[in-house]
Homo-oligomer: A and B are copies of this chain.
Amino acid sequence: MNIGEIAKRAGVSRSTVSYALSGKRRVSEATRRRILRVIDEAGYRPNANARALAEGRTRTIALVIPPAGRSLTPIQLGFVAGVVAAASLHELDVLLSPSGGEHDRSFERIISGRRVDGVILMEVRLQDARAARLRESGLPFVAIGHTADAGTGCWVDLDYEGLIGNCVHHLADLGHRAIALINRPQEFLDSGYGPARRALDGFTAAAAARSLTATAICCPDDAMAGEACVENLLAAHPAITGIVTANEAALPGMERALRRLGRAVPGQISITGVVGRHWAEEFHPPLTAADVPISDLADRAVELLAERISSPAGPERHVLLAPPISLRSSTAPPVQRAECDPALASQGSHAECLTS
């Protein structure tokens, strides 16, 4: 069933059918109705490939997911779902492309085969080969996170530097003097992964501004590692009363470690950070944190890309999101060590130990 068959049955030419469908030229009401009836009876839909070939656009975008497929975090997952939903509203389909290692062929196939009108690139690095390849190809793309030359290209990103800084200020305001950062894994930092770098920068700068004693450590992306990290951290730096985390996957382990060490939250240790809302709410007690606005991020990325596709010569826009800190119940002023009996605190009755 193709457009020619419809034309024949309706007794018109192929172009008239096309115009009746697209509305790009006027078609008399009588003819239009007749054509639509035939189409309805035949259950006809235009072939997407033929249309793409003729129009020169595919109405499809590619979403390039991070290299190691196995390490997709729930936050990334949420982003994928968000992009699909947002694209659906723009009448765009989403082609998923893995990247890295043997899967680079897939990426290359999609780009150079002109299968898509634009690309969303997840998890870009400060130096990113895929971004360079895309720039060379001339295909519109939006990066999630920004590359080293932040001025060029479109991107949407989270203001990790500012957000982590806000967390530090929040702890400082409460009176904490010794704090720590639990960052993403060391190799992320080494390979120039923006969020990890900027989290560290923001932490260091804010801590210095408030003259805090600050310790930053990296932690692999899983609960077991989180448990070990917190144990080692508190053993090595017993004075620490506040923790800022940029690593949500480690949270369950952190919770376990604190419980096992008998440190009450927020009685003895305050915790905050930048994590997905889901993780913040599942923490015990609910985490005071800057919730990562994952579906906003997805919406904005698709919006930017759609705009760029329709006018490739337009300005290269950037979006830097900075969600507010949601106050829940994992932060409080630090205990005064001298005045407070640890036994009391571990039983949860730390009210009388609070400082001013």
Q: Which residues of A contact B (CB under 8 A)?
A: 43, 45-50, 52-53, 58, 60, 63, 65, 69-70, 72, 74, 77-78, 80-82, 84-85, 88-89, 91, 93-98, 102-103, 105-106, 109-110, 112-115, 222-224, 252, 256, 259, 281-282, 284, 295
Please indicate the chain B residues that have their CB under 8 angstroms from the CB of A74 in the complex.
Answer: 74, 77
Quick check: A93 and B81 within 8 Å, CB to CB? no
Q: Which of A113, A224, A256, A284: most chain B Cβ within 10 A?
A: A113
Please indicate the chain B residues that have their CB under 8 angstroms from the CB of A52 in the complex.
Answer: 49
Given A74-B74, A84-B96, A282-B224, A53-B60 contact (CB < 8 Å):
no
Quick check: A45 and B113 within 8 Å, CB to CB? yes
* Chain B residue at minimum C-beta to C-beta distance from A294: B70
Quick check: A93 and B97 within 8 Å, CB to CB? yes
Quick check: A81 and B69 within 8 Å, CB to CB? yes
> How many chain copies does the complex carry?
2
Quick check: A103 and B88 within 8 Å, CB to CB? yes
User: Out of B72, B105, B252, B281, which one reaches A88, CB within 8 Å?
Assistant: B105
Please indicate the chain B residues that have their CB under 8 angstroms from the CB of A95 in the complex.
Answer: 60, 93-96
Please indicate the chain B residues that have their CB under 8 angstroms from the CB of A82 in the complex.
Answer: 69
A222–chain B nearest beta-carbon distance, Å: 7
A279–chain B nearest beta-carbon distance, Å: 10
* Chain B residue at minimum C-beta to C-beta distance from A137: B43
**How many angstroms from the CA of A189 to the CA of B101 in the assembled complex?**
41
Given A69-B82, A81-B69, A46-B106 contact (CB < 8 Å):
no
Quick check: A65 and B77 within 8 Å, CB to CB? no
Please indicate the chain B residues that have their CB under 8 angstroms from the CB of A60 in the complex.
Answer: 95
Given A69-B81, A88-B106, A95-B93, A48-B113 contact (CB < 8 Å):
yes
**How many angstroms from the CA of A114 to the CA of B53 in the assembled complex?**
14
Please indicate the chain B residues that have their CB under 8 angstroms from the CB of A224 in the complex.
Answer: 281-282
**How many angstroms from the CA of A63 to the CA of B48 in the assembled complex?**
17
Besides A46-B113, A93-B110, A223-B282, 14 new A-B residue pairs in contact (Cβ under 8 A), listed by A number: A45-B109, A48-B114, A49-B115, A72-B77, A74-B74, A77-B77, A81-B98, A84-B97, A88-B103, A88-B106, A89-B102, A93-B97, A93-B106, A224-B281
